[in-house]
Structure 1
């Protein structure tokens, strides 16, 4: 099975090469904004062929971009407008269902591209040379730059990994260029007999992740400090949005980037620890698809202040991102992550099987089975139920030779 990873390569440039790369990035960004304004003026179209046919010559003439880069610009703009139209449709459905009264305003004006990140196509816009060098296309022609990166990633580039598109990213505070290269690896999934243990992972708010095995091993990953930080940022965003000045807007952008990096870092840390502590394992993850629609929560003005805060907590953390990190890291380390049914994982007793909302008094941390009296931490109950359902999936896999549970989507 194929697995895609990203190799981050640090580029070493002199003053002339640095200026050439920076000029290429800024020209590409200006071209994106130009095509975005054209699309907005012509019905906010997301058709990439229409945009390329109408704007290709202007992109080459006004911004001096090479042919392949000039083709990438309409594609990126079309993908952006397609995403905006999808969000608008979802907002219309939410308003019709009474979940919100706010109208989506993403299409009220043409989207403006701020980041100068530039996409390169392999063997057309960039290629690798010997002795850890890479040739990159700029407005002034190709430049050959030495690079440095993670040893395993550099080895994969030189030893036959399928190389895809790359992004030229500029770290403005440190004035450093990086090339983010997509690598596609061929990874064989081990048979069910190769998995030494079964692990269940429960995600939540008080604890970002709780793991449990069928042999009694448990791990807790608390999220108290992270949630406190998220609450602080939410209060700060509210004050800055109310202020509405240009400096407040710049501060909002900085806060959003900082919060996103914090979530990514913590999800990477948790996923790495889970995979390293449980090698050669079958890891069960809850299938949380459409979880927000399935949960009966009050929204908008019908909800109390406490309920709105709980809704924000539930929707702000990237659980799907954590599942994705666990899935790809597990596959690279010889394990396998699958999804299991999440229905009543926190309300069902793992000892007698009795499921009821009353097993969670006041929806607190303590689980008390109303049938057999079994008592345990509620999040640990969820992890154990996920582990048991994963074990049943493994047993069916061994018996039938078919993995009936869906794998984690990449």
Structure 2
């Protein structure tokens, strides 16, 4: 399971910077880019984890740049992230040209008077946060003691500085599911990023289209080989990353909303470790997408008291939800259709798998030492239990809200 120790938010603010402080911050930006590039050059083809890159490149950054000790550490971590992302996309050695700098609680201090103190290559600078007249949404985090400052990013563009101020708070504890809890099943895939057991489909068409378009652009620009082409390629990659992140947030919000709509105290996913074996079209990029999506669902669900679990997804795409008959030929991969060879029941294959994932969560038994767990899986028109079979919502005391 993904780490859900903290909920995280980002508040984007302007910075009021004096000419002297602006010079110091610009110097920091240039040294940061240089430090990140030195770390990448040192680690490329050698290692890619944060600890490995830090151990390999830290001394060189301290010797050859004006970065302080903690910013040198952060630069090696940023380099490691860039290397991993490039490896994931089968890309070339990263080049750092974006005018951004990472900060953490050792290199920044946020004060109650709406100012922030930042470490530079020389003296620290203290700047006013440029907030809307009414305080804006940023004040929700600045004024709430439950939210504490966390990793943040300074951005410099067109002569102006903005600060992406990070906040975090402990994720709310999620109580074990009550006896008789209902579970929402979620199947992850390539054509549809996610499909729920209540028949909500989150299409991956636009995401896949943009990815394919990026690959075509990359092939063309790499063939050109100019510095301008490399810069254009990095910008295209950044746009793709922003789109992917936004799409994953939208899908995560939709899954949690679906769980709330149908009164589910549990959301069940197939175990991510099995994804590549069970879906031949899923590669390393999709594994990364699924991991990020799961983490986004987890922290949103935790805030609403909904638990997230993973179950073994083996045979969930081959098993008939109606009669239980399991066979590889039940599934037509070309048509994305499931049709049971025994009883003739048919459905979209991802939808059938989502229902089976939910039902497997029910059948696997208690989820806690107190014997509590899922008792029913939510479908669009009713619930299914091992003992009672299908029950329409019209026959239940509580039905989901209408659309």
Fold match (TM-score > 0.5): yes
Deviation at 1:82, TM superposition (A): 10
Render the CA deviation track for 1:103-148: whole Å, top value 9, x for unaligned. Answer: x975xxxx653344323332x4322222433222333432132254
Q: Distance in 2 between matches of 1:148 and 1:25?
A: 23
**1:133 aligns to what?**
115
**Coordinate RMSD, CA, aligned:** 4.0
Aligned 8 A contact 2:177 2:307 in 1: no
Aligned with 1:273 (options 235, 249, 254):
254
What TM-score do you get using the length of structure 2 for normalisation?
0.74
Q: Partner of 1:351 in structure 2? A: 322
Unaligned runs of 5+ in 1: 91-101, 298-309, 405-410
| Paired position in structure 2 for 1:95 | none
Structure-1 residue corresponding to 2:266: 282
User: Which structure features the higher share of helix residues?
Assistant: 1
CA–CA distance in 2 between the matches of 1:196 and 1:296?
30
Q: How does 1:179-190 map to 2 (within 5 A)?
A: 179-190=164-175
Within 5 Å, give how 1:26-45 maps onto structure 2: 26-34=30-38
Pick the aligned partner of 2:363 from 377, 383, 392.
392
Pair 1:323 & 2:317 matched: no
Structure-1 residue corresponding to 2:340? 369
Does the Cα contact within 8 Å between 2:115 and 2:126 map onto a contact in 1?
no
Matched residue SS, 1:161: coil
Structure 2 match to 1:198: 183
Q: Which residue of 2 aligns with 1:120?
A: 103
Q: Which runs of 5+ in 2 are unaligned?
A: 375-403
Query: What is the distance in 2 between the residues matched to 1:54 and 1:176?
Result: 28
Q: 2:131, 2:241 → 1: CA distance? A: 26
1:25 aligns with 2:8: no
Q: Encode CA deviations 1:361-390: one digit per residue, 9 max, x unaligned.
A: 354222111122211111110111111122
In structure 2, the CA distance between the partners of 1:221 and 1:397, relative to structure 1 (3 Å rule), is same
Structure 1 residue 247: deviation in Å? 2.9
> What is the number of equivalent residue pairs in this alignment?
360
* TM-score under structure 1 length normalisation: 0.73
Taking a change above 3 Å as real, the CA distance of residues 182 and 314 of structure 1, as seen in their structure-2 partners, is closer
Match of 1:97 in 2: none
Deviates more, 1:336-345 or 1:362-371: 362-371
Kindly state the Cα deviation for residue 317 of structure 1 after the two structures are TM-superposed.
7.4
Change (3 A) 1:153 1:340: farther
Distance in 2 between the 1:260 and 1:316 partners? 15
CA distance in 2, matches of 1:83, 1:250: 15
